């Protein structure tokens, strides 16, 4: 452990309002860093790469827990864990790509502690659940001491590890609108090994064909392929209202090049990522085409 844990403070609010006060820049000169499951923060502390003197514990806040229906949508409390996502029957039926993503985050010990808001706030381009959230058009509910607001997850990242949250804002929930019926859901994480790994490429797709076999709705989302997890809009554009035949697939694959900007890093290289991203797209489209 390379951080001096003995010198760190942590506030333990009893309510969300108290927690919001802890992160309020007007109330504190050094706003507290929110911590829930700690599965990312303690890794940084261990390596000595996080310099923050004060934390606020969100883990015990009842207001941030639980999965419930909210109108048409399903609302995941900010500290919903990956295990809770994995084990929820309604989620498994409606949002299988997210459930699969949750099942591939770390080992069981991590899944029991890692939260959905933590995965979002950590803002790693490789975050496993993030492409699934993009494919399901998730909406982030944020709150500060001054009130709440709604942010589409697609525009939540403004750059590498740069959140759209204002100072003093916390993620309090994630809403998942109902996906179209009879759609093909797809999730594939290509990591450094088969479990407990960080992704080299992570892909989630949602696609629905109309009765004529034309693509009626399509969402393609990638992680580890750009500074932020993102929707492949050009590829989606190439597919929309088209039949899933070889020329369309080839056009979509070519369009993908405009969407993605992979890099060489400690886990993989640019060329591999580019190729796998295209191959997974094709794999997904093959499956989607089979579903008439």
Partner 1 sequence: MSEVTLRLTVNGKTHRVRVPPMKRLLDVLRDECKLTGTKEGCGEGECGACTVLIDGRSANSCLVPAVQADGAKILTVEGLSKDGRLSALQRLFVEGGGAQCGICTPGMLVSAHELLARAKGRVPSENEVREALAGNLCRCTGYQKIVDAVRAAARGGRAW
Partner 2 sequence: MPRVRSTGRATKPASPDGSVGVSIPKLEAHEKVTGAALYLDDLRVPGMLHGRTVRSTVARGRIRKITLDPAFDWTGVTVADHKDIPGDNVVALIEEDQPLLAAHEIRHAEEPILLLAHESAERVEKALRAVRIEVELLEPVLTVEQALAAKQLLYKDTNIFKEIRIDRGDAASALRSAGVAGTVLVEGTYRTGHQEQLYIENNAMLAERTEDGGLLVRGSLQCPYYVHKALMRAFGLPAEKVRVAQTVTGGGFGGKEEYPSMIGAHAALLAWKSGKPVKIVYDRLEDIAATTKRHPSQTRIRSLVDRDGSLLALDIDILMDGGAYVTLSPVVLSRGAIHAAGPYRCANTSIRARAVATSTPPNGAFRGFGAPQTQFAMECHMDRIARQLKLDPLEVRRKNAVREGDVTPTGQVLTESVGAHEVLERTVRRSHYEAKRKRYAQENVAAARAERAGRFDGRGRRVRRGIGLALVYHGAGFTGGGEVKLASLAAIDITPRGRPRILSASTEIGQGTRTIFAQMVGDALGVPAEFVEVETPDTGLVPDSGPTVASRTCMVVGGMLVDAAREMRAELTAFHGAEWSDAPGFERAARRYLAEHGALRAEKRYRRLAELSWDDDTYRGDAYGVFSYAACTVEVEVDLDTGETTLLSVTTAHDIGKAIHPVLATGQIEGGIVQGLGWALLEDVRWKDGRVWNHQLTNYIIPTAVDVPTLDVEIVEIPYSRGPFGAKGVGELPMDAPAPAVVSAIAHATGIQIDEVPVLPEKLLRAHSQASVG
Q: In the complex with partner 2, which residue's Cβ is closer, 158 or 192?
A: 192
In angstroms, give the least distance from the CB of 108 to partner 1.
5
Tell whether residue 254 is a contact of partner 2 (CB under 8 A). Answer: no
Residues 6+ apart with CB under 8 A from 112: 37, 81, 82, 83
Q: In the complex with partner 2, which residue's Cβ is closer, 196 or 217?
A: 196
- β-pairing, 54-57 with 147-152? unpaired
Among partner 1, partner 2, none, partner that 181 touches (CB below 5 to 8 angstroms by kind): none
Owner of token pair 């500290």: 79
**Contact pattern from residue 186 through residue 205 relative to partner 2, giving x for each residue in contact according to CB under 8 A and a dash for the rest:** ----x-xxxxxxx-xx----
Q: Which residues bind partner 1 (CB under 8 A)?
A: 1, 5-10, 12, 35, 37-39, 42-43, 46-47, 55, 57, 59-60, 83, 106-110, 112-113, 194-196
**Contact pattern from residue 103 through residue 142 relative to partner 2, giving x for each residue in contact according to CB under 8 A and a dash for the rest:** ----x-----------------------------------
User: 222, 234 in Cβ contact below 8 A?
Assistant: no
Owner of token pair 């999965």: 67
**Contact pattern from residue 50 through residue 89 relative to partner 2, giving x for each residue in contact according to CB under 8 A and a dash for the rest:** ----------------------------------------
**Rounded distance, CA 47 to CA 1, Å?**
7
Q: In the complex with partner 2, which residue's Cβ is closer, 50 or 145?
A: 50
**Rounded distance, CA 213 to CA 219, Å?**
17
**Rounded distance, CA 30 to CA 184, Å?**
46
**Rounded distance, CA 237 to CA 218, Å?**
9
């Amino acid at each position: 452990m390379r951080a001096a844990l003995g010198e760190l403070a942590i506030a333990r609010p009893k309510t969300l309002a108290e927690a919001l006060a802890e992160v309020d820049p007007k109330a504190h000169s050094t706003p507290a860093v929110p911590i829930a499951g700690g599965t990312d923060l303690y890794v940084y502390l261990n390596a000595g790469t996080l310099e923050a003197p004060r934390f606020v514990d969100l883990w015990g806040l009842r207001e941030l827990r639980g999965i419930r229906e909210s109108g048409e949508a399903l609302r995941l409390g900010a500290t919903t864990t990956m295990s809770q996502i994995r084990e929820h029957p309604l989620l498994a039926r409606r949002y299988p790509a997210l459930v699969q993503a949750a099942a591939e985050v770390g080992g069981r010990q991590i899944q029991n502690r890692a939260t959905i808001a933590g995965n979002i706030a950590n803002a790693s381009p490789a975050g496993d659940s993030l492409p699934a959230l993009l494919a399901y058009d998730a909406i982030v509910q944020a709150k500060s001491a001054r009130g709440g607001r709604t942010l589409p997850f697609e525009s939540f990242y403004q750059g590498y590890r740069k959140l759209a949250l204002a100072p003093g804002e916390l993620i309090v929930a994630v809403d998942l609108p109902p996906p179209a019926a009879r759609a093909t859901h797809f999730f594939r994480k290509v990591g450094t090994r088969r479990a407990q790994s960080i992704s080299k490429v992570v892909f989630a797709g949602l696609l629905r064909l109309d009765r004529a076999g034309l693509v009626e709705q399509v969402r393609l989302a990638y992680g580890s392929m750009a500074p932020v997890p993102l929707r492949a809009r050009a590829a989606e554009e190439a597919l929309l209202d088209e039949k899933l035949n070889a020329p369309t697939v080839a056009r979509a694959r070519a369009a993908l090049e405009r969407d993605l900007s992979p890099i060489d890093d400690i886990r993989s290289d640019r060329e591999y990522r580019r190729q796998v991203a295209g191959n997974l797209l094709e794999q997904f489209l093959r499956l989607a085409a089979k579903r008439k």
